[in-house]
Structure 1
């Protein structure tokens, strides 16, 4: 896949332009987006991402197009999981609804910058060290285990990192608009808004460690890795307000992502064995009999896993709601007709 410096420059410039437009058109003036506004922009960004995949397929071939779609689906799913943690953080810091857009926007920009750095490092490692696939594969298998069994066990707003920050900074108890710092009685304080952004930035770093090895398990092309990440993050702010209530109903999202990460981890290990150069494995020779998982199978597997996790989550939460309603009805005292007449 031949990507010239000019194409890279145009892609990065257009990506920055989208985020600048988002800030001035939607985020600069604090407000809570309506469902209609969020739905329209979410549909626009998702449609744009799908259309870009067609462009990649038409220009560079559909093998690369398939890699892009598989990467985009994976990164979008991981980004939705990221949104769930953002929700926990903003709930923990009690961020007013009208200021949540600004927090999300800054968090998304930080995420893109961090992922861009990880993409550059990952590309350099892959170009120079084929054994990095073993490391990425092992990392993804560990992250899959953590995703499946440790998700949601800690409060990001009150974790060790945030306690450390609070000990070393003077923090106000109340918000002062959307200001990050405020001067009170001649002393400079940071506001909970800044703490929220710091917490989200720290979480972005953690998620970058998850997402970049995952997508490098689907493609070796840094351009596809970057654009899939950029499109997955575009529209994430609107999606937060659109499916905010639905996030809490996706109870099996963590398990679904764990399956995806484990699958990509195995795929990476298979690829590492297929291009092996480590002297203590098969004498440094590739194990050509090890199968390479094709991208079409990866795309189908990832899509099916996300669909199953979503349907199973909604079915479970719907069933739980019915049980709660039934328990509430059965627990209420029965009012007889005679009693009602006496009233």
Structure 2
């Protein structure tokens, strides 16, 4: 078991190294074709890893009673849940970048370090969630209610983002001085002998805290599929790793997916009910995968078929490099 975890950690570290120092060694604005190609690569890796899951559970690399086929389906379901919920995260990230006027060529750098931090935070949250479910049966109901409430919020007013009012920014300002100008892609800079944070670092902190908030929904959702910590972690992380490329694909046309939030709410509702009925309702693994896939696909298709509204978040490729940022 530890060998599998260590091997996966090395695999993820290798992917991150290739992403930052090979594919995106130079700061640049990813064009649509490049973003689509990278998204396809990340999704291919995520889907292909289901084969590794099958082999791991078939050859006894993991101590588990799950059949290899069951483990593979649970992985794919968890991957699809996290990937679908990440789409909602894209809109919030676009708002954050738009507010701070983050230069488009530095946005990938912020997303990279934000997701690197998310790997560690999510590992801690997943292990804690699995422990709570194994030790306290009533936590199934707590997580179920949490998902139902999240679904309600998603179809309600939604979460409005007001970066200037965010307490995280206020905390950063109290701890370290923050410059009002960007200094290339640097998060920190020394001015007059004193270390200052740049607006890029503040944007990074905002993205990181936003991911933690979204993980409060997505991790219980995957735990509603399986409590196998390796499947939960691997499916979660491989889906999140593709979020950077997915952001550059979706952020400029997020207004075209207006009905997607209803699909995501239905997915959260389905998993929430499944958690609350865990003692009496045990649908086959393929049922959960089918319901989530059909619901997500239906939301995307219906969104594309309807006429999109006029307002939309800023296209990251149209954001010009500023000299100052507001309200920091």
| TM bucket normalised to smaller | 0.7 to 0.9
* 1:232–1:157 distance in 2 versus 1, CA, 3 Å: farther
Q: Deviations over 1:268-293 (max 9, x none)?
A: 0000xx1xxxxxxxxxxxxxxx2223
Q: Give distance in 1, aligned partners of 2:188 and 2:8.
A: 34
| Partner residue of 1:313 out of 300, 303, 316 | 303
Q: Which moved more, 1:174-183 or 1:70-79?
A: 174-183
What is the aligned partner in structure 1 of residue 283 from structure 2? Answer: 293
Conservation of the 8 A alpha-carbon contact between 1:88 and 1:157: no
User: Does the CA-based 8 Å contact 2:147-2:221 persist in structure 1?
Assistant: yes
Alignment of 1:116-131 (within 5 A): 116-131=123-138
1:334 equivalent in structure 2:
none
2:292 to 298, 302, 311: 302
The 5-angstrom pairing of residues 232-271 of structure 1 reads 232-271=239-278
- Is residue 90–residue 250 contact of structure 2 (8 Å, CA) maintained in 1? no
Aligned mates of 2:238, 2:196 — CA distance in 1 = 36
Number of positions where the alignment pairs a residue of Structure 1 with one of Structure 2: 300
- Indicate conservation of the 8 Å contact 2:151/2:265, yes or no: yes
Specify the alignment match of 1:56 in structure 2.
Answer: 53
Aligned to 2:7: 10
Match of 1:175 in 2: 182
Say yes or no: does 1:190 pair with 2:187: no
Gap regions ≥5 residues in structure 2: 59-66, 311-328
Higher relative contact order (CA 8 A, sep 6+): 2
Aligned partner of residue 139 in structure 1, secondary structure? helix
The question of whether the paired residues in 2 share the 8 Å contact of 1:151 and 1:254 is answered with no
TM-score, reference length from structure 1 = 0.81
**Cα distance in structure 1, aligned partners of 2:191 and 2:44:** 47
Q: What is the TM-score of this pair, normalised by structure 2?
A: 0.85
> Which sections of structure 1, spanning at least 5 residues, go unmatched?
275-289, 322-343
CA deviation string 1:282-313 (max 9, x = no partner): xxxxxxxx222322221111111111211222
Distance (Å, rounded) in 2 between the aligned partners of 1:195 and 1:97: 16
Residue number among 17, 20, 23 corresponding to 2:17 in the alignment: 20
Please tell me whether the aligned partners of residues 28 and 102 of structure 1 are also in contact (alpha carbons under 8 angstroms): no
> Is 2:142 aligned against 1:135?
yes
Structure 1 residue 160, shift from structure 2 partner: 3.8
Correspondence 1:219 to 2:226: yes
Partners of 2:193 and 2:281 in 1: CA distance: 67
RMSD across aligned positions (CA): 1.9
Supply the distance in 1 between the matched residues of 2:5 and 2:129 (Cα, whole angstroms).
Answer: 17
State the 1:187 CA deviation: 4.2
Aligned equivalents of 1:166, 1:150: Cα separation in 2: 30
Does the 8 Å contact 2:95/2:161 carry over to 1? no
Cα pair 1:31 1:98 within 8 Å, conserved: yes
1:320-331 mapped onto 2 (5 Å cutoff): 320=309
